[in-house]
Amino acid sequence: MTAFPESRTVILTGAASPRGIGRASAHYLAERGWNVGIIDLDAAAAKRVAEEIVLEHGVQAAGAGADVSNEAQVRVAFDELEGALPQIVALVNLAGVSSPVPYLEVTPEEWNRVMNINLNGVHYATRRAVESMVKNGVGRVVSLASVSAQRGGGTYSKTPYSAAKAGIIGFSRSVARELGHDGITVNVISPGPIDTDIMGGTLTDERKVLMAADGVLPRIGTPRDIAAAIAYLISEDAGFVTGQTLNVDGGLYMH
């Protein structure tokens, strides 16, 4: 297997929101020597987070704007980041939207909105990233699913979200199988409830206690819990782990 280059870049989608998993992960990975590329719907915010990372961690970083549900925009953003940063070794698909709409109220527009961002977006970013990784003979792809996919909802989001996140698991296993011979691993992290804004606004302490009660551990997750899992799966040491779903959910779903 091809070794990691001395200077390596991770691209994260959806990593610009102030209290999100993506931004926390970008900082966590930069602390560990990764150069960072950020793709976000908000191009200015992506560039701001990149500047923050350069100042705080002394690595290279760059931001680009793209709607992940638009393949042409995703490809342009990747081209821009690839031109500005060292070799892309890892992609982390974090961009996503929630959908708390009850099934009998789901419109075609809502279904397509969630699928286009949460599933098609993962495909578009992965497809572009692995084109470069295959040429270099090494790569790591990590995408975020959700405990909702495994339990059939039961958290904040409902059916379209659960379906899209379950799709990410099947998609990732298939790409892992096809691209393993090219030195690329493809894995999934499935978070339980994490204290971020996607959970329907800032969680009250009372709501955190109620959500934690469903799991085994006496708290809900933090963005750092997910960042640490990402850091492992994109590491050189995780080269024999592929097609897997790592549940980071406080024991909410055991299988």
Residues 199 and 156: beta-carbon distance below 8 Å: yes
Distances (CA, A) of 236 to 34, 118, 241, 242: 12, 27, 10, 12
161 in catalytic set: yes
CA pair distance 26, 11, nearest whole angstrom: 9
* 28, 103, 161, 232: the active-site residue: 161
Residue type (1 letter), 160:
P
Give the Cα-Cα-Cα angle 21, 187, 126 (nearest 5 degrees). Answer: 80
* Helices 108-115 & 159-179 angle (0-180, nearest 10): 30
User: What is the DSSP annotation of 159-188?
Assistant: HHHHHHHHHHHHHHHHHHHHHGGGTEEEEE
Closest CA to 119 of 13, 44, 248: 13
Q: Give 221's strand partners.
A: 194
- Catalytic residue numbers read 161
